[in-house]
Amino acid sequence: MADKKTTTKKTTKEAVEVKTIEQLGVELAAKRADLLVARRGHAAGELANPRVITSTKKEIARLLTAIRAAEIASEKESK
């Protein structure tokens, strides 16, 4: 018989450091600048590790998610 696979529900991670929306925005701007530099370096053939582009894009997505979650939390608190 086939073994049953147990599925686990993903849980949210607790933040080690709580950042404000402004701090996340500053970090987001820095990551976007890094991505721009990495893309230019890749186009010029100077980028040693092209996986930097992928990881930077994922970090940007995580920051955008964190900013949106913080905005939703502040909207719920104000109601």
Summarize the chain as % helix, strand, coil (round to 5).
65, 0, 35
At residue 18 the predicted structure's pLDDT band, cuts being 50, 70 and 90, is confident
User: Is 2 part of any domain?
Assistant: no
Contact predicate 21/71, CB 8 Å: yes
| Structural domains of the chain, count | 1
Residue 19 has pLDDT above 90, yes or no: no
Q: What is the domain extent for residue 31?
A: 21-78
CATH number of the domain to which 45 belongs: 1.10.287
| pTM of the predicted model over 0.85 | no
Q: 23-70 pLDDT, tens per residue?
A: 999 999 999 999 999 999 999 999 999 999 999 999 999 999 999 999
